[in-house]
Amino acid sequence: MFSVVIPTCFGGKLLRRCFRSLVENGPKGLQIIIVADGNPDLTGISEECSSAYSLEVVRVNPSQGFCHAVNRGLAKVRHDWVQLLNDDAFVKPGWFLPLLDAAKDRRIAAVAPLILHDKPGDLVDSAGDTVHIWGRIRKRYRGKKAIQVPKRIHPVLACGGCAGFFRVSALSQIGGWDENFIAYFDDIDVSLRLREAGWEIVCQPEAVVVHSGGQSYGPPKGHLLQLQARNEEWIFLRYPSNVSMAEWSRFLWNGIRLVLQLARGSAGDFVQGKREAHKQFSSEMIKKSKLFNRRLWPWGI
């Protein structure tokens, strides 16, 4: 058996669709934990749940961000494995069986399912994450037909938080989610810390989840764009050995992104996020050097 944690900021019809898919397709006795980050609309949730499932609602008010919500949910998990599920995603019948099969390998800490766009339903949203040679973090096979993804378990660099399946003991070993990220690229950070700790991460394309995309927090602009820009830069600063192949091209990619943001009128937020990443990273490195404790690196800010 396993648990499911659903962090939600807005709730509403997307959360109800997500929850309903679990109730209709999940195994009996499934533990479902909804973390209400702020004051989301939870109307109809308790009515959807039957006695065959365990529902817990954790309330966080005021909102503390996605990473804090995940950690609060993880604290309630009663099983060895947990699936994080965005409230704008929903599961397909039997989705969990291939995940549990992959979880039998004791070397594996995280399993990325095949995530499809809801419209159209045959296009891939992600099959795990990787770092492109251009120096950007990207979702594998995004925009391609689902039939193009290899139909076998295979290793990936990172497992996304949209619907990632994680070994609870491994997450406990690395200290869970780093709440300094707040949201965005936090799942990449978790994956790389798991890899640094000796764990393996794979994609199981036989497990299918559907994702609406960008609905949990809305389009990236303003503060959200700053978070995206800062956190992506943090990944490259924190883990140079994991992403060194992209170091030379990362600056070029940032330049292209800056031009795109100029066209959208959001260059200021993008630049501010990048500046914050380098400023906070430098401050943390100074603090760690004073502590003379290299074991802390690169586990957090």
**Alpha-carbon gap, residue 56 to 34, rounded angstroms:** 6
Strands 89-91 and 200-211: antiparallel
Q: What is the pLDDT along the chain (301 residues), one digit of tens a residue?
A: 999 999 999 999 999 999 999 999 999 889 999 999 999 999 989 877 767 789 999 999 999 999 999 999 999 999 999 999 999 999 999 999 999 999 999 999 999 999 999 988 789 999 999 987 666 788 999 999 999 999 999 999 999 999 999 999 999 999 999 999 999 999 999 999 999 999 999 999 999 999 997 655 556 667 889 999 899 888 888 887 665 555 567 777 777 778 888 888 888 888 888 888 888 877 665 544 443 333 332 322 2
> 3-211: what CATH class?
alpha beta
Please tell me the predicted confidence (pLDDT) of residue 151.
Answer: 92
**Alpha-carbon gap, residue 220 to 217, rounded angstroms:** 8
Domain limits of the chain? 3-211, 223-294
Backbone φ and ψ for 32, nearest 5 degrees, come out as -115, 120
Q: What is the largest CA-CA distance in the chain?
A: 56
Please tell me the predicted confidence (pLDDT) of residue 87.
Answer: 95
**Alpha-carbon gap, residue 41 to 18, rounded angstroms:** 13
Please tell me the predicted confidence (pLDDT) of residue 261.
Answer: 83
**Beta strand extents in the chain (DSSP E only):** 3-8, 31-37, 54-60, 81-84, 89-91, 108-117, 124-126, 129-132, 136-139, 154-155, 165-167, 200-211
Query: Per the structure block, which two tokens stand in for 13?
Result: 């019809």
Tell me whether residue 288 is exposed, middle or buried, using C-beta atoms within 10 angstroms of its C-beta: 0 to 12, 13 to 18, 19 or more: middle
